[in-house]
Amino acid sequence: DGGITQSPKYLFRKEGQNVTLSCEQNLNHDAMYWYRQDPGQGLRLIYYSQIVNDFQKGDIAEGYSVSREKKESFPLTVTSAQKNPTAFYLCASSTPYRGGLGTEAFFGQGTRLTVV
């Protein structure tokens, strides 16, 4: 089955620690994304990568870092510099742009990170 897998589903972190969220896809998509969702809020883009070994900051990249060493994997590290890391994190990948068919994003099931 093709899809996106995020792990773990729940994650607890002590203040001052870095933590890495995993995202793996077997859809053969070039583009991958990380979003953050806070209660009652929409999806805010943290980082995105359109090709291996390349990535760009989204709207709220401060306190986060990513790597894209393999097409299938796009891990997100939440660093101690992130002031308010408790949130629901979503990873996605998207099809290439297909002219009149646009692009479609596929999401993982999310990771809920809680700072204790």
Partner 1 sequence: DQQVKQNSPSLSVQEGRISILNCDYTNSMFDYFLWYKKYPAEGPTFLISISSIKDKNEDGRFTVFLNKSAKHLSLHIVPSQPGDSAVYFCAASGSSAGNMLTFGGGTRLMVKP
Residues that bind partner 1 (CB under 8 A): 4, 6, 30-31, 40-43, 48, 50, 88, 90, 92, 94-97, 99-110, 112
- Measured from the CB atom, the residue of 37 and 79 that comes closer to partner 1 is 37
Contact 15, 115 (CB under 8 A): yes
The bridge status of strand 87-94 relative to strand 76-78 is unpaired
Min dist. Cβ of residue 51 to partner 1 (A)? 10
Min dist. Cβ of residue 84 to partner 1 (A)? 19
Whether the ω angle into residue 75 lies within 30 degrees of 0, i.e. cis, is no
Distances (CA, A) of 82 to 47, 63, 107: 14, 4, 23
Min dist. Cβ of residue 20 to partner 1 (A)? 19
